Structure 1
Amino acid sequence: MADGTDGIEDLGGVRGLAGLDFASVTPEEFAQIVKGLSGKEIAELAQDTELRGRVLAEVFTRMERQFRPDTAGPLKALIRWKITGSGDNEEAVYETDIADGTCTVREGRSDADPRVTLILADAEFLKLVSGNASPVAMFMTRKVKIAGDVALAAGLTRYFDIPKA
């Protein structure tokens, strides 16, 4: 998969994704995978509790590695992510804490007050973090809801190396 395309087309949608070793997939390959999924396939992924959990955990783990401390500078902010569930899946909550040139991610809701909370469905979340959607367009079309510091939310993408599909 060194060129970012080998094997991606052969994943077989969500079934192929279920058997994927996420640790071996580059951010660019992940972006290509998400780009190739239909809305129906993303909905199917969101219904598979185990697969959804694996995908969300991998995405948030990668946020720490793809954080750009040079761009964040002295920024201190707690960002809460609420990925709305559907069917039997409950809402997933993660927090990214940016401070002192680091980004720390944790699953679940802390007692701390976030500077900004982003609320979005599974499909929109995957499209956003894989570089397959414009954050501004998503906000304008209400596919992402923001509570708190809208300016911080608008600039979040510059603090992370987001792949382009």
Structure 2
Amino acid sequence: MTRVLIADAGPLIALSRVAQLPLLRGLFGAVGITGQIRAEVLDSGRFPGQDAIAAAIQAGWLQCRDVDLAPWHPRYPGVDDGEASAMLLAETFAMPLLIMDDRAGRAEARARGFAVMGVAAVVGLAKRQGLIPRAAPILNDMRTSGYFIGDDVINAILARVGESA
């Protein structure tokens, strides 16, 4: 059975800002997003890499589905509409994997039994799969572009892939 990947806005933005959005396609093939996530990344102001997200949607490997938020009942506070919609979409698949970095969203997803991976782990996986030569420069570029990834997370990923900061 193929695992379905559903990405939240933050990881899409982080990867696209550093021209690494294609890593998702290389690792997972098709990637699901919701209408709420699409609006968050395309309609909420311009940022570097935004055109890459639009192009991925147009190319069809970033696949957008509409999700009705009416049945959403959070277990934890702080989950935004994008994260909520990602989890509602995930409920329609047998073995979804969520790419999500927000703390509240990750806690909610885990409480609902979903597998969750952060964008730093995606970069580490890309290194292990041979899609990139080194993870450290990409993680550092994400931080430089304004995406928060803690030192402990970066150090853990780099240790797993045999690199240092």
TM-score range, shorter chain: under 0.3
TM-score of the superposition, structure 1-length normalised? 0.27
